[in-house]
């Protein structure tokens, strides 16, 4: 996990709602990381904020959750915003919760049936505990879905290069230059993060602290000396020390041997290890076939 904070968008035309929500959420954390609240007071402002949080294309965003009022500059402004997010921006990963002080304007079942949203909350029900549940669950789901899609995209990106290992390695390096992200000021920027691939005991590519073979192999050996957790009957395993994760894909008739290291901002949750393991199994099969 390379994020330093999670981003939540609050869209409401009442300043008091923003102030109360900001106070309620000031200590929220997910996976040990803080939540950053972005405010918008209209549909147009919300679209501007979301555009600033996109990562190169409108369907990929740093924003995890949007809390959207239904009635703002018009009776349907919030619903129109939902439609814009899903059908214009094509963003399917943002977790949307509609908040309304006038439930009669947008009955819950009608809205849930007609719009791709994940939650519905009357403003009178918006206690701190309820906000905590919605935000935390939404951030978790958005991050899980986002990482799943990113690893699928990476495999899709690598497949055309599967004719040779040199081509795969070059494609992997190109992807790494594109895919590491941070948020600075008002815009998303590309950054590097510490990771590396050691394939069949040879350093292939790495970033940041592990951009050179000697440092990467040294850290790999240190992590290999620690107790590990078995992932399957083939002998795949992983270990975590602090923020460092090592996943070892054991050699088989189908899979090449891989050691993959990743250093996050916080220790990875169990499900993140599971997703990386599934991706690495497919990647190791590509590498084996290309050899």
Residue 160 has a CB neighbour count (10 Å cut-off) of 10
| 14 and 117 fall within a common domain | yes
| 126 and 35 fall within a common domain | yes
pTM of the model: 0.88
**Domain around 13:** 6-142
Q: How many domains does the chain have?
A: 2
Asked if residue 170 belongs to a domain, the reply is no
- Start-to-end CA span in the chain (Å): 31
Q: What is the pLDDT of residue 190?
A: 46
Structural domain ending residue among the three candidates 142, 175, 204? 142
Structural domain ending residue among the three candidates 79, 112, 142? 142
Asked if residue 43 belongs to a domain, the reply is yes
Q: What is the pLDDT of residue 104?
A: 61
Asked if residue 180 belongs to a domain, the reply is no
Residue 255 has a CB neighbour count (10 Å cut-off) of 20
| 49 and 120 fall within a common domain | yes
Q: What is the pLDDT of residue 241?
A: 97
| 90 and 201 fall within a common domain | no
| 38 and 137 fall within a common domain | yes
Distances (CA, A) of 285 to 150, 155, 163, 172, 223: 19, 11, 12, 15, 24
Q: What is the pLDDT of residue 170?
A: 93
- How far, in Å, CA of 271 to CA of 277, rounded? 10
Asked if residue 126 belongs to a domain, the reply is yes
The residue behind tokens 């940041």 is 208
3-state per-residue secondary structure call for 136-195: HHHHHHHHHHHHHHHHHHHHHHHHHHCCCHHHHHHHHHHHHHHHCEEEECCEEEECCCCE
- How far, in Å, CA of 187 to CA of 273, rounded? 29
Which of helix, strand or coil describes residue 219? helix
Contacts of 105 (CB under 8 A, 6+ apart): 70, 71, 75
**Per residue of the chain (291 residues), what is the pLDDT tens digit?**
778 899 999 999 999 999 999 999 999 999 999 999 999 999 999 999 999 998 777 888 889 999 999 989 998 899 999 999 999 999 999 999 998 877 666 677 777 778 889 988 887 787 889 999 999 999 999 999 999 998 999 999 999 999 999 999 999 988 876 655 544 444 444 445 789 999 999 999 998 899 999 999 999 999 999 999 999 999 999 999 999 999 999 999 999 999 999 998 899 999 999 999 999 999 999 999 997
Asked if residue 163 belongs to a domain, the reply is no
Asked if residue 159 belongs to a domain, the reply is no
- Report the CATH number that the domain containing residue 39 is assigned in CATH: 3.40.50.2300
Q: What is the pLDDT of residue 105?
A: 62
DSSP, res 59 = T
């Amino acid at each position: 996990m390379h994020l330093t904070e999670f981003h939540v968008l609050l869209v409401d035309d009442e300043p008091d709602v923003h102030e109360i929500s900001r106070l309620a959420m000031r200590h929220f954390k997910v996976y040990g990381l803080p939540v950053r609240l972005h405010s918008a007071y209209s549909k147009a402002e919300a679209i501007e904020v979301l555009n600033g949080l996109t990562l190169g294309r409108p369907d990929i965003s740093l924003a995890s959750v949007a809390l959207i009022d239904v009635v703002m500059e018009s009776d349907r402004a919030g619903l129109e915003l939902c439609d814009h997010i899903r059908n214009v921006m094509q963003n399917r990963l943002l977790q949307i919760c509609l908040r309304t002080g006038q439930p009669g304007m947008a009955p819950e079942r009608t809205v849930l049936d007609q719009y791709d949203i994940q939650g519905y909350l009357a403003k009178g029900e918006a206690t701190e505990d309820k906000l905590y549940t919605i935000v935390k669950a939404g951030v978790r789901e958005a991050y899980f879905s986002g990482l799943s899609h990113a690893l699928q995209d990476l495999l899709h990106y690598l497949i055309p290069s599967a004719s040779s290992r040199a081509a795969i390695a070059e494609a992997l390096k190109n992807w790494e230059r594109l895919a590491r992200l941070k948020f600075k000021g008002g815009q998303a920027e590309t950054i590097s993060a510490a990771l590396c691939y050691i394939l069949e005991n040879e350093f292939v590519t790495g970033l940041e602290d592990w951009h050179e073979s000697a440092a990467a192999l040294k850290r790999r050996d240190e992590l290999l000396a620690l107790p590990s957790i078995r992932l399957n009957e083939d002998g795949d395993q992983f270990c975590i020390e602090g923020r460092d994760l090592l996943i070892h894909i054991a050699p088989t008739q189908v899979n090449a041997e891989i050691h993959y290291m990743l250093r996050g901002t916080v220790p990875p949750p169990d499900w993140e290890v599971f997703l990386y393991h599934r991706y690495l199994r497919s990647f190791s099969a590509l590498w084996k076939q290309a050899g």
